[in-house]
Structure 1
Amino acid sequence: MHIVPERDIADLMTRAAAFDAVEKVFAAMAAEDAYNFPVIREALGHEEALYGFKGGFDRAGSTLGLKAGGYWPHNLEKRGLINHQSTVFLFDPDTGKVSAMVGGNLLTALRTAAASSVSIKHLAREDAKVIGMVGAGHQATFQLRAALEQRSFEKVIGWNLHPEMLPNLEKVAAEAGLPFEAVDLPGLKEADVVITITSSFDPIVLSEHISDGTHVACMGTDTIGKQEVAADLLTRATVFTDEVAQSTTLGEAQHAVANGSLTADQITQLGAVINGTHGGRASDREVTLFDGTGVGLQDLAVAARVVELAIEKGTAIEVDF
């Protein structure tokens, strides 16, 4: 068995490698060469923590495994640890024998950013110039860095419930040599691409805040009850997702489905666009929306890639298990 500790991930995994892994696994899912197992998520009744498992099997990539972890809301204040904690376990699909254990914290951030970045590549207008960010926390910086690689953006605009966090976005924009402007929510109409990455349980972005032709990547809703955008934006947009079953039950689409304004068969897997079985954006005025719910196969794909990189560089720890 190979072990890749959390401390080694940053020196091994690149945004490009994460993008490639996620794009391939989305394609495999749409081709029915890969599938996710049902998600298990439980409140522990201890430390107010949520703990669970995401897993799946990618026949095309010969990857089998699970990610175990969750959210400990008091970690940072009590222990100086990040609140999200996870570990990925990989197994040999031919024998069932465990093959790897990989730190999952940074990988989760990278794969989440890669998912929205893949959606921008395949759904945003080619002439997109302004990117809008809703949310300015730690994950937002990963999202923005990955997104900026997909189009020739000329400006970054951003909104956050707590404006004092907006310098996080401004710093990333400056690194890319781009101007940054803080805006109110109606100001998002200037954006050609909008990424939402919050933990909101109430809609923040309304349909009237989004211009025709915009691509919206909703990346924060991954739990029953969460909501970042108004349901009527989904009925206005052409909706894509990583996995339809998750989109309709715990993703951004759950609310439009619940009120009857959207049905599961109106939601398309992003992998179908990657594979060429769906045409993707149909016009420059069409609003496209990616509901990124976060699937276990994403975690397995990036974990398998980082194990390969660690073995190539000779940094993987090998143990007899």
Structure 2
Amino acid sequence: MLIVPESEIAALVSPEAAFTAVEEVFAAMARGEAYNFPVIREALGEGRQYGFKSGLDRKGAVMGVKSGGYFPGNAGRGIPNHQSTVFLFDPESGRPTAVVGGNLLTALRTAAAAAISVDRLARKDAKVLGMVGAGHQAQFQLRAAARVRDFERVIAWNYHPEMLPKLGEVAAELGLPFEAVPLDRMTEADAIVTVTSSPAASLMEAHVSPGTHVACMGTDTKGKQEVEPALLARARVFTDEVAQSVTIGEAQHAIAEGLIAEADITPIGTVIAGMAAGRQSEDEITLFDGTGVGLQDLAVAGAAVRLAAEKGVAVSVTI
């Protein structure tokens, strides 16, 4: 079995590699070549959450599980609040093949999924990127989105505005003008990425203009909510996996209010695989409900293992 430490991930898996791995597994899901197992998630109290996401990719010959969660007290310990590890197994024998540090991989695969949605669903002439949320993950989201469209400026809002300057520094690195704005100015954006951990909606229907693409990346648990349900009723809704979208994703709220039905949600993998249409008009609002599926983690972890083996940085152990 190979061990790929967290410390090696940055040098192994580029954002481009994560984009390719996630796009390929989304298409495999659409073709029935890969599927996720049910998510297990537990609230541990005091804001702590822990769970397991797992699946099987027959095409990629990968089976595994990501174990991890959110521990808000970690900031005081000098370590990331999000902690995760990916375990890979041979799908034929069940033999463990790898253990991979999952913290950076989680950030990369989440940003890749949003960027894929922007690439496939945003208008080709999108020039203004809106960011709702300014935490650690938002920095990855901004960089990834900027790789797939030639944005001319970035506008951003965060519940804690004192966090926005760090996001502005990332925009400056990318050569993009940056402005902190109130939410009602999100109407200026052609693409919006929401990446918050809020239990209540912040982005409202009135904040989104016709023709905008919205990537909702923060809701992955029952009770979380980033956008007003009415926005989903107004948009064409896409997701990574419909089963998660309607139970733990952003769509859970619109479904509960009877504003949309499960049949109204399109897996983005079907767009990638050429099985369904993406954007159909310049004025259409498209929305991607990025719930974060286990197969994303397995895809980027598999890429990390292959590269680590090639470069000789994986540690081999016998169990």
TM-score (norm 2): 0.98
- The corresponding residue for 1:33 is 33
Q: Deviation at 1:70? A: 1.1
How big is the shift at 1:48?
A: 5.3
1:253 to 240, 251, 254: 251
Whether 1:238 and 2:236 are equivalent positions in the alignment is yes
Match of 1:65 in 2: 64
Match of 1:95 among 86, 90, 93: 93
- What's the CA shift for 1:276? 0.7
> 1:19 matched to which residue of 2?
19
Q: Distance in 1 between matches of 2:223 and 2:152?
A: 35
Q: 1:136 aligns with which of 128, 134, 137?
A: 134
Moved over 6 A (4+): none
Taking structure 1 as the reference length, the TM-score comes to 0.98
What is the distance in 1 between the residues matched to 2:223 and 2:42? 15
Segments of structure 1 that go 5 or more residues without pairing to the other structure are none
Q: Which runs of 5+ in 2 are unaligned?
A: none
Q: Secondary structure at the match of 1:149?
A: helix
**Is 1:5 aligned with 2:32?**
no
Give the structure 2 partner of residue 281 of structure 1: 279
Distance, in Å, in 2 between the alignment partners of 1:5 and 1:33 is: 29
Residue 42 (structure 1) aligns with: 42
Distance of 1:114 and 1:182 partners within structure 2: 24
**Alignment match, 1:180:** 178
Identity of aligned residues (%): 65
SS in 2 for 1:60: coil
Letter in 2 for 1:24: E
Deviations 1:201-248 (A, max 9, x none): 111111111010000000000110111110000000000000001000
RMSD, aligned α-carbons:
0.9
* Residue 153 of structure 2 corresponds to residue 159 of structure 1: no
Amino acid in structure 1 at the alignment position of 2:147: E
* Matched residue type, 1:40: I
Q: 1:175 to 1:48 in 2, by over 3 A?
A: closer
Partner of 1:55: 54
Q: Which amino acid aligns with 1:133?
A: M
Aligned-partner Cα distance in 2 for 1:44–1:175: 38
Query: For 2:59, what is the secondary structure of its paired residue?
Result: coil
Distance 1:161 1:277 in 2: 39
What amino acid does structure 1 have at the position aligned with 2:242?
Answer: V
Question: How far does residue 49 in structure 1 lie from its aligned partner after superposition?
Answer: 2.9
Whichever residue aligns with residue 143 of structure 1, its letter is: Q
2:315 corresponds in structure 1 to: 317
Supply the AA of the counterpart residue of 1:17.
A
* Structure-2 separation of matches of 1:195 and 1:44: 28
Match of 2:299 among 298, 301, 316: 301
Cα distance in 1 between the residues matched to 2:292 and 2:50: 15
Partner SS state of residue 166, structure 1: helix
What is the aligned partner in structure 2 of residue 215 from structure 1? 213
Distance 2:200 2:103 in 1: 27
Would you say how many aligned residue pairs link Structure 1 and Structure 2?
319
Offset at 1:82?
Answer: 1.2
Q: Which residue of 1 aligns with 2:73?
A: 74
Specify the code of the residue in structure 2 equivalent to 1:4: V
